[in-house]
Structure 1
Amino acid sequence: MNPPTTCRLPDWGLILVEGSDASTFLQGQLTNSVLGLAATPTGGVAHGSSAVRLTGYCTAKGRLLASAWISLHSSQAVTQYALFVSRDLAAAFAKRLSMFVLRSKVVIRDVSDDWLVYGSLETIEGLLPRLPADAIALAMQSPADTNPTKRIVFASQMTVDAQLNSSEWNAAEVASGIPRIVAATQDQFVPQMVNLESVGGVDFKKGCYPGQEVVARSQYRGAIKRRLYLAKAQIPSESCPPATEIFHEEDPGQPAGMVVLSAPNSNNPDWIDLQIECKSELAQSGKLHLGDASGPSLELGTLPYSLVEI
């Protein structure tokens, strides 16, 4: 019997953007270009940079309010963009986007209550025969991602046999080094502070979007002083949610960064794997701690990609 490969992802939600002006509208809102995305038939898996892109949505000050995996899907006469986002910010994200529709022919819907989101650690070929007919699916692999683990996310209105423990999926997500903004970390990071540009989530050649000037200035003026790092600590996972502050033992008065994502270590339940955002000058010191300057020590790991430097 083959081991289970699919799990429910209750922390993920789905936003659908439809309409004849959807491409133009999203192009002016997101950090990555949506133009030229190849449409994937319903029930298929969007994959590759021509069909799937990682993107962000920023405030006017260049701070991320959301990150999303986006693909274009078609079914009969309807063409729609699918944005897979953190469930806890999906409603607010969809509402904020809707504020800027104005007279554009665009309909934005948060369908997280109607569509269940699943994750699979399997090849596309292996999963396709078992995908529901209505599935909206994409393979999560950025241009910079060299992690061999296949991660596919899909949504369906049908119930799917999902026996894989979600902790395995979560551990693979953390290990990818690809950030996911959640409600607790909204408005905290310029994209480069969580390496979004290094994993293909920012297109510096596209037109304007909210916060574009700040993001571009941070890149070309060398103002990036904080980065995302992989780390681990010996601590129960439930006590280290996103936005948990990180401190340097020689500067206990102010935080050096915060947790971006966390997941139980797949090999040792006494350890937790982390994505952390931290001041670059302090990251390699070996003196970082969770919660306060005397909290559990952090042990840094190695990112599976190189940072984009200008």
Structure 2
Amino acid sequence: MTALSTFADTMLSQDVIAHQQQIGVLQVSGVDGKKFLQGQITCDMSKLTTSQSLYGAVCSIKGRIIANFLVIQQDEQILLLMSKDLLEKTLTHLKKYAVFFKVELADASDAYRVTSVQTQATSTQPEQLTEILPTQTDHSAMRLTLSEYPVRTDWLVEPAQNTSLEEQNQQYADVLNLLIARPLIRAEQSEDILPQWLNMQRTGGISFTKGCYTGQEIVARMQYRGKSKKQLALFYWQGGPTAESNLTDLGDKVVGQLFAQASCDDWSVAQVILNIEPEELSAPKLGDTSVEPLALPYRLDKR
């Protein structure tokens, strides 16, 4: 299996800076903001501070992800950074419960700009990713560290009118973001995926000690009693993107579904939700394209 750090280093001869146009911002304000979200999302809001951001999801009662996001505290406000095409749906869902709390919800995407800054890795492969995302605030700009391996990835969240960073080598950003394997779902994937299928139990996205939230019973049952082998895995191949959504094994058996892909410099990378254990794979293909597995940036134990 190709070393992930080696693959990432080939694309990082220089720093990569890219505006994340696809990311929207849901703003939660009011004295009950944390209390309200604690009963709705998978991460532990008691650990959120201005210097500690989180990764989490809001789920349906069936435990499927409606949207997942990065959670930042800015003064007395809480910001959820998610795929922009899921903002309206997430707002509609959360507003059903917000009426019982002193809280206001709003789409604040126009007020902020999110920029990713990717540089050489600053650590080796961890056992699992911490639930705490270190965050620094400089005046009105917030910088949170999303990963330190296989690339150091920081997200800068600042007022939309700021022009502190210009894009550079942005053509590599999408591929590098996939290698982090801490994904955000898109609208077409909403309510189809359990958090564990995206490895959120190993990437700090689920607290199993915080208590109840919508969908918690299903998520906990999958963790402690579930038999599903579904998990996020990485693959690469030489050539452009594929239109095929099924990953097949030897004998053309479907063993996974394409979750996301990106291409650059005649190389492509994909995140795939596997239906089998990675060691059971044999000659995987996406359509007619043979693909090779990449190691995850963290160890993946089922429990």
Q: Give the shorter-chain TM-score range.
A: 0.7 to 0.9
Q: Which of 123, 128, 134 lines up with 2:140 in the alignment?
A: 134
**Is 1:157 aligned with 2:163?**
no
Q: Is the 8 A contact 2:118 2:151 kept in 1?
A: no
* 1:96-245 pair list within 5 angstroms: 96-121=93-118, 133-141=139-147, 146-160=149-163, 161-237=165-241, 239=242, 244-245=245-246
Residue 179 of structure 1 contacts residue 196 of structure 1 at CA under 8 Å; is this kept in 2? no
CA distance in 2, matches of 1:106, 1:156: 22
- 1:184 CA displacement: 2.3
SS for the counterpart of 2:201 is helix
Which whole-Å CA distance do the structure 1 matches of 2:48 and 2:205 have between them? 14
Aligned to 2:67: 66
Q: CA deviation at 1:259?
A: 2.1
Matched, 1:261 2:260: yes
Cα 1:34/1:155, change in 2 over 3 Å: same
Over the aligned positions, Cα root-mean-square deviation in angstroms equals: 2.5
Q: Distance in 1 between matches of 2:190 and 2:156?
A: 22
Compute the displacement of 1:80 (Å).
Answer: 0.6
Match of 2:79 in 1: 82
Q: 1:148 to 1:114 in 2, by over 3 A?
A: closer
- Do the aligned partners of 2:284 and 2:291 also contact (CA within 8 Å) in 1? yes
Compute the displacement of 1:105 (Å). 0.8
What do residues 170-195 of structure 1 show as CA deviations (whole Å, max 9, x unaligned)? 22211112122111222222111110
Match for residue 19 of structure 1?
30
Aligned to 1:286: 282
Cα distance, 1:98–1:122 mapped onto 2, change above 3 Å:
farther
Q: Secondary structure at the match of 1:274?
A: strand
Give SS of 1:139's match: strand
| Equivalent residue number for residue 300 of structure 2 | 307
CA-CA distance at 1:282 after TM superposition: 6.4
**Percent of residue pairs bearing the same amino acid type:** 26
Unpaired runs of 5+ residues, structure 1, are 40-45, 124-130
Shift of 1:55: 0.5
> Distance between the aligned counterparts of 1:284 and 1:113, measured in 2?
46
SS at match of 1:151: strand
Relative to structure 1, the CA distance from residue 281 to residue 118 in structure 2 (aligned partners, 3 Å threshold; closer, same or farther) is closer
Question: Shift in Å at residue 22 of structure 1?
Answer: 0.6
Instruction: Check whether the contact 1:5–1:164 (CA below 8 A) recurs between aligned residues.
Output: yes
Q: 1:260 to 1:283 in 2, by over 3 A?
A: farther
In structure 1, how many angstroms separate the alpha carbons of the residues matched to 2:54 and 2:64? 19
Is residue 280 of structure 2 the alignment partner of residue 298 of structure 1? no
Q: Distance in 1 between matches of 2:46 and 2:238?
A: 44
Distance (whole Å) between structure 2 residues aligned to residue 258 and residue 61 of structure 1: 21
Secondary structure of the residue aligned to 1:286 is coil
Q: For the residues of structure 1 that align with 2:261 and 2:279, how far apart are their CA atoms?
A: 17
Task: Determine helix, strand or coil for the equivalent of 1:304.
Answer: coil
Is the 8 Å Cα contact of residues 255 and 276 (structure 2) preserved in structure 1?
Answer: no
Matched with 2:4 is none
Aligned to 1:42: none
Give the TM-score normalised by structure 1: 0.80
Q: Is the 8 A contact 2:113 2:159 kept in 1?
A: yes
CA distance in structure 2 between the aligned counterparts of 1:181 and 1:190, rounded to whole angstroms: 11
Residues 286, 299 of structure 1: 8 Å contact kept: no
Equivalent-residue separation in structure 1 for 2:256 and 2:119 (angstroms): 34
Q: Distance in 1 between matches of 2:266 and 2:68?
A: 30
Whether the 8 Å CA contact 2:175–2:268 is kept in 1: the answer is no
Structure 1 CA distance for aligned equivalents of residues 192 and 156 of structure 2: 26
Q: Which amino acid aligns with 1:309?
A: K
> Letter of the aligned partner of 1:13 in structure 2?
G
Q: Is the 8 A contact 1:15 1:84 kept in 2?
A: yes
Q: Is the 8 A contact 2:28 2:78 kept in 1?
A: yes
Shift, 1:132, TM fit? 8.1
The corresponding residue for 2:20 is 9
Equivalent AA in structure 2 for residue 298 of structure 1: V
Distance in 2, Cα, partners of 1:4 & 1:229 = 26
